[in-house]
Structure formats: structure tokens, C-alpha cells
Chains A and B, each alone.
Chain A
Amino acid sequence: MKKLSPIVLFTYLRFEKLQQTITELSKNFLASNSDLIIYSDGPKNSQDQKKINQIRTYLKTVEGFKSIVIHESPFNLGLSKSIIFGVSETIKKYKKVIVLEDDLIVSRNFLCFMNEAIDKYINIKEVYSISGYSILKINKVDSFDGYFLNRSWSWGWAIWEDRWDLIDWQLKFLKISNNFNKKLPQKLNTMGDDLPRMFNSCFEGYSDSWYIRFLINQYQMNGLTIYPIISKVLNNGFDEFATHNKGLDIRFKTQLDKSYSQSFILPEKIKINHQFQNQLLVKFNFKNRLINKLKEIFYHVKID
């Protein structure tokens, strides 16, 4: 059997969510054979310090993995820098990596799916990343357990060293001028209507997103992402402590794989599934975003 990929887990303030994430992860079939590397980000202020101490005490008690390494940052790096730094450091050693954040819940066969996909596509450069999460609710039509889209997802994903090293985080190819790259946000539309706005907010300096830079690089490289037909990850993170995701998770609700299957049939042909790609684009188009927004508003009204 090939050596399993290490799991890198990023955490900051969310103690309860983190406990859930780790509990579910440790129930995985392959957990006891996987290395777990945890990056705990440092505090922004003294209030956070207390919570972080609590988290770090807990982390030392975690069991159920082949090995556990904890990296504690003395100061606040922010999610973007934590991820870029942590993944770079780990991938140098292991050549491949599975990345999780502290707000995700994984299925028992999450690691099986990820490791299988990592080994299958290790030499196929057209595959840019692997996603454990699938936003689409799909009725299985053919024999395959996976499909390709042109966009990565950041909830439980994996990548290889050669592809990670090609990523230009500084985005040197962008021309700096007064009308800063008007065309690129339009082009990103082909990966989802939500991206131009994410791009603008990031490059105006209103948010710090590694994900949009990850996607821009994917766009530049024309890379594809393999998704599972049945999602292996759920996002549990839509609450007031979340850094990026605020609001309701209606749109991102999906079904979690409850089966015990440990091996998967992954497509040989590296090709976008246009039917699913269109479904994804529709999810993010203006009309659906508007409906989602209205749902959120009414939901909050009801609570109040």
C-alpha cells in the first residue's frame, strides 16, 4: 500500500466546531494510518488568547492518528498566510497534502476518497486539485464516483507538490495600473458568478482571501478539480465566529456520504462534466443569489 497523504488542519478560535471536526475525522477508516498536522493561529488580542489556550490544551489530548504534530503561531497570521505557509511547509516534506479547516465535518470514507484520487491523478497535470465537498446533489447516472469541474473548492481539498509550487500567490502577472485588470473578474465568471465580487473585494483590500488567488492560478493553468458524486464533507461554519462565511447555509446544503464504501471508481478521462458545470453556474447566478439573500433576510426576521 502506498503511503497515505498527511492531513493539515487549520484552526483559530472555534473550539466546539474544532472538536466536532476532529472527532469525525478520527472516525475515518484511514485515520489511524494518517499523519495529522495542526496549525493553530495566534491571537489578535488578549481576549482571544484565553480561547486559544483552551484550544491548544485540547489539541494535546487528541488521539486516533498515526502521528500528531501541532504548530502554534505566537501571533495572528490570518487564515490566508496560515494556509499558504502551512501547506507549503508540509507539502515540501510529503509531496501531497489534504487540507481541512476547523469548521468542516467529514464522512467516514473522506480520507479513502482523497487518498485514492491523490494516487490516481498524481501524474496527470491537468488535474489541479481534489475536492472532498460537492455542492451539487446528483443522482448517480453512470458508474463513476467522481466528476470534473473547472473550479476548486476550499472545504476539504487536496493538492500535489508540483502543482502547488506553480502557484503565484503574489499574482505577478497582473498589471498594476489605475484601472486594475478590468477583464480578469469577467473571465472568472466562467467559474461562478460569485468570483468577480470576491476578486474585487480582495484586491481592493477589503478582505484577505487565499482562495480567490488559488482560483485565479487554476484559471491561468486551465486546471480541473475532481469532485465526489456524493459529498464527503459538510460545512458547519456559518455562525458569528466564522471569518469568511456569514449567513445561512441553505445554498451549500448537501448530502453527506453515509455509506461504508472504501473504494471508488474515478473517471479516466480528464474532462469537464458540462452538465454539472452548468448546474454549478446556475447555483451562483444572479437570480439564485438574490433568492438566497431574501431567504436569509426572512430567516433573520423570523428569529427576531
Chain B
Amino acid sequence: MDKQFNFEQVGKRMPYNVPDGFFDQLEQNVIAEVMPDDTVTEKSKVRARTVKMAIHTILAAAAAVALFFVVTKNLPSDDTQADTFEFVELAYNNLSNEDQEFLIDVYEEDVFIIENEEMNY
């Protein structure tokens, strides 16, 4: 009897196999290689933005508190003159150069201060 080979006897079966979980591992390896650390998921981008905003808020609050203590510490004891512009300027002049630079850095772009100054003029 002529026994002819028929591809249907084998179909797409192959004598090869792979370790368990291999394809998931392959995908993870590739993603780890092609996605640099700064290319993160949208979720982690949102998380990063939220953390940055929180840090900025905390720093701004800390700076405001520091300003309050620094200015009041350097004001003269005469309360009748405490809220005059001259005394604020005097208090500012009494600060060290470092403290003055710090205040300028923190508040020079503060839109609320700038807005108030513009309204005063």
C-alpha cells in the first residue's frame, strides 16, 4: 500500500517548546529595554505631576512662614510705625545679602504681589 505523507497528519505541530511564562517574560524584557525611565505611563506621569505640585505648595508655604518670621524679627519695636513702608524697607535692608536674595528669588514672580503693586500705582 502506498503510504503518502499528508500535511494534515502533522498540521502546525512542532517538536519545540518554551519555558513556562516565557512569552510574558519576553514582553517584559523588551518593554524594559525600549521604554527609558523618562518614558513612563500616563498614570505615573499624572502621579509625578501631583507630587511636584504638592512639593511646590509645601515650599511656597514654608517660604511664606520664613518670610513672616524674618521680617517680624527685624522690625523695630515701635509698633506705631510697624506697618509703614519705610520700616518694611528698613527691615529688608537689615537682612543679610543671602536672605535678601532668597526673598527676591521666592517672590519676584509672585503674581499676587505683582498684581497688588500694579493696583497701587
Partners in one complex: no
